[in-house]
Amino acid sequence: MLRARCEVRQTTGLKEPELASRVADVDALIVRSETKVTAAILGAAKRLQVVGRAGVGVDNIDVPAATARGVYVVNAPLGNIAAAAEHTMALALALVRRVVEADRSVRAGEWTRAKFMGRELRAKTLGLVGIGRVGGEVARRAAGFGMTVIAHDPFATEASARSAGARLVDLDELLRTADVVSLHVPLTDKTRGLLNAETLAKLKPTAVVVNASRGEVVDLDAVAAALESGALGGAALDVFAPEPLAADAAIRKAPRTVLTPHIAGSTVEAQTNVAVDVVEQVLDVLDGKPARFAVNAPRPPAEEAGGLAWLRLAERLGSLAAQLLDDRPAQLTLAYGGAVLEIDPEPLRAAAVRGLLETFSEERVNLVNALELARTRGLVIAERRETEPQRYASLLSVRVGHTEVAGTLVQGEPRIVFIDGFWVDVPVEGHLLLTKHQDKPGLVGRVGTLLGEHDVNISSMQVGRLHPRGEALMILTLDDPVPDEVRARIGTFADINAVRTAKLGTSR
- Read off the pLDDT of residues 286-332 as tens digits, 9 standing for 90 and up: 998 889 899 999 988 877 778 889 999 999 999 999 999 988 889 99
pLDDT given for residue 508 in this prediction: 44
Residue 362, amino acid: E
Give the whole-angstrom CA distance, residue 228 versus residue 251.
Answer: 10
Give the whole-angstrom CA distance, residue 390 versus residue 263.
Answer: 56
74-89 as b/e: b if 16+ CB within 10 A: bbbbebbbbbbbbbbb
pLDDT given for residue 462 in this prediction: 87
Sheet containing strand 148-152, edge to edge, reads 167-168, 148-152, 125-129, 180-183, 208-211, 234-237, 257-259
pLDDT given for residue 300 in this prediction: 83
Give the whole-angstrom CA distance, residue 135 versus residue 155.
Answer: 13
Tell how strand 471-478 and strand 430-438 pair up: antiparallel
Sheet containing strand 458-465, edge to edge, reads 458-465, 471-478, 430-438, 496-504
- Number of helices (H) and strands (E) in the chain: give both, helices first: 16, 20
Q: Which domains does the chain have, with CATH numbers?
A: 16-79+269-286 (3.40.50.720), 85-259 (3.40.50.720), 303-504 (3.30.1330.90)
Instruction: Give me the residues of the chain with pLDDT under 70, please.
Output: 389-390, 506-508
Give the whole-angstrom CA distance, residue 192 versus residue 186.
Answer: 9
Decide if 183 contacts 213 (C-beta within 8 A).
yes
Angstrom CA distances, 393 to 340, 416, 417, stand at: 9, 14, 13
What amino acid positions are annotated as catalytic residues? Answer: 214, 243, 262
Tell me the backbone φ, ψ of residue 496, rounded to 5 degrees.
-95, 125
Does an H or E element contain 74, and which? strand 72-74
List, in sequence order, every beta strand (DSSP E) within 374-508: 380-386, 394-400, 403-410, 413-419, 422-426, 430-438, 458-465, 471-478, 496-504
pLDDT given for residue 77 in this prediction: 86
Give the whole-angstrom CA distance, residue 92 versus residue 71.
Answer: 39
pLDDT given for residue 389 in this prediction: 63
Listed in sequence order, the DSSP H helices in 379-429 are none
Give the whole-angstrom CA distance, residue 50 versus residue 441.
Answer: 54
